[in-house]
Every structure is written in C-alpha cells, then in structure tokens.
Amino acid sequence: MTTPAIRFENVSRHFGEVKAVDNTDLEIRDGEFFSMLGPSGSGKTTCLRMIAGFDRPTAGHIYLYGQDVSDLPPYERDVNTVFQDYALFPHMTIEDNIAYGLMIKGVDKKERIKQVDAMLDLVRLPGYGSRKPSQLSGGQRQRVALARALINHPKVLLLDEPLGALDLKLRQQMQVELKSIQKRVGITFIFVTHDQEEALTMSDRIAVFSEGKIQQVGTPSDIYERPATQFVAGFVGTSNLLSGAVAKRITGSEQMFSIRPEKIHLGAENSKPEKDMLTIDGVIRDVVYLGLFTRYLVEIEGGSDLVVIEQNLKTTSMDVLSAKGQKVRLYWHKDHVSHLGN
C-alpha cells in the first residue's frame, strides 16, 4: 500500500461559530482523479484551500505524501492550483504567466521558453505565448491556468471548480481533455465541483460533502448505485426513499432504503414478479413525457409516491400519457436497493 497523496487527520476549520470543516478524515491515492462534490458551503472548497495552503486547519493535520504540511505556506508545498477565476496575471504575457513558477525557482530563460512551448502544446494553444490574458476567451484562459500549474510538475494538482464559467459544450469538451491530460501526466488531480454529473463522468473516486462533513467516499458507481446516506441519495441523481411501515412491507425491515427511479419497472396489475424481485402495487398519478424517457409518479399502498423512469423504447407520447390512472405493479431487483446510514 503506497503512501497516500493526501491524508487528512481529524482536520477541522472553524470560522468563529461556523464549522466549515468538521473533524474530517480523508485519504486520496497516488495518481487518482479524485473529486470533492457537494453544494456550496459544504466544506469542499475549504478542504481544497487547506491542501493548497491558503487556509490553516483550526485542528488536525494534513499530510502530503507523508509530510506534515499543515503549517507550511503555499510556496513551500509541492502543490499547484487551478483557480476558479483562473487568476492569470493581467500585466504579463501568456508566456510569462506560464513560466512564472519556473522564473521564481530561478530556471534560466532558454529552458523556460522550451518548457513553456511544450506546455502550450499540451493544452493545445501553440503560439499563444506573446498574447495577454485580456485577449483570450474564457476557455483559453482556463487552459493557460492549467499549463501554468502543470509546468511545475507538482505532486498534486488542485482544481477549484475550473469548468464553472464555461458553456455546456465547452465544458464537456474540457472534461474529456482534463481527463486525458491527467492520464498522460500521471499526477494526482483533486477536483472540486458542485455538478454531480461532472464528478461522475471524470472521477476515479468521489467524496461527497455536506455541512462540513464527508458523507461518503467511493467510486462513481458506489456513490450512485449504493448511496450510504439520505443526503447522498438525494444529491446525486434523483432517488426514492422509503422507510418505516412501507419499507417493512417491501424489504422486511423498517430501515430506510433508496431505489433509483430507472431501476423500477412498471408491470401490469396482477403480473407475477420473478424471483429476487421486490414488489409493491400502486396507481399512476402523473406522467411526464420527456422525449428520451418518461417519468411516472406512482402512488403506492401506504400513501408514499415513487418516481419511476422508463426509456421510451417502443411507445409514443400518446400511449404513455394515457397511462395516467392505471393500476400497476412495481418491481425491482433486491440488489438495487441501498440501505442508508442516516
């Protein structure tokens, strides 16, 4: 088991009364693309800033490949950041921006130019060296910010919601590019975002944050298919949550569980479920046709509502909309159920 790239040990960050990060432990592995996901104010950005060195933990320690860096200023850490607003220096050319870290280290000019050119190729902006940041578009500036950070060969690269300001098409393009650059360069990337789709697309592992605590850490499929807490179930994708008497009727236990809408099948009123399937009867209350799929709201025995999503493989809009009011039998595989912690 190699030394983790980043390790948090009982790390807390308090701002007066507010616990931005609350007694958190975390391990990020060498070479992985790790995302920190959560709504604003959940503590993910604070954690990132503490790794970078812009914030000091109120309690606890942070280890970078085994070295305690908790008290070190940013310039003493072998970590680089891509900022949300890119933070390019407006009074310097692109070339000087990218070479900044090398210049500080004392690398000579010839070598700097060589490395800058290599970086510009990597981020696909060849020849842009003599321009100024104000002449570049948002997407281009973002790539310059990336180059400026990577040229220093940091042990860990931090990305603070870097794709937030880009439009959808560009964002998707950049997601692919970032992922491929990470694979090529081979260093650990730590990526902060509030967009769960983005996290699911790009990450090797995800940590879901809420209110200063980590709710769950796992691979994208762990997080999605087997959410551990109510928050994760609700934040990542939509989910149905059932507990109490209704839950007991279906699974035999009162413990709350979640089941994803696309995992539920609509069957005819008295159809026979196959083995390993859990089942409950209900009435379709609402139907929304969404082109690719249809979303049903089904009221089940016991009064709760379940959201069911089915792909429109064969039916047309007329067909599905007329399903409103029908009695149905819902069933799903028992392995698709995820029991929740809290």
Residues lying near other proteins in the complex (CB under 8 A) are found at 52-54, 71-76, 79-81, 83-85, 87-91, 100-101, 104-105, 133-134, 148-149, 152
DSSP state of 252: S
Q: Choose between 56 and 124: whose C-beta lies nearer to other proteins.
A: 56
Q: Which residues pair with 208 in a beta bridge?
A: 37, 216
Q: Of the two residues 89 and 272, which places its CB atom closer to other proteins in the complex? A: 89
Distance in Å, CB of 303 to other proteins, minimum: 50
Residue 249 carries which side chain, given as an amino acid letter? R
- 60 versus 74: smaller Cβ distance to other proteins: 74
CB of 299 to other proteins, least distance (A): 47
Give phi and psi for 149, each to the nearest 5.
-80, -45
- Closer residue to other proteins, CB minimum distance, 101 or 129: 101
Count Cα atoms within 13 angstroms, Cβ side, for 218.
14
DSSP 97-126: HHHHHHHHHT--HHHHHHHHHHHHHHTT-T
Nearer to other proteins, 90 or 186 (CB): 90
Spatial distance between the Cα atoms of 334 and 276, rounded to a whole number of angstroms: 6
To other proteins, the closest distance from the beta carbon of 17 in angstroms equals: 16
Q: What is the closest distance, in whole angstroms, from the C-beta atom of residue 104 to other proteins in the complex? A: 5
Whose Cβ is closer to other proteins: residue 56's or residue 114's?
A: 56
State the minimum distance, in angstroms, from the CB of residue 54 to other proteins. Answer: 5
Q: What six digits make up the tokens of 128?
A: 């842009």
Instruction: Name the DSSP class of 246.
Output: H
The candidate with the shortest Cα–Cα distance to 147, out of 117, 120, 186, 115, is 120
Shortest Å, Cβ 213 to other proteins: 26
Asked whether 27 and 4 are in contact (CB, 8 A), the reply is: yes
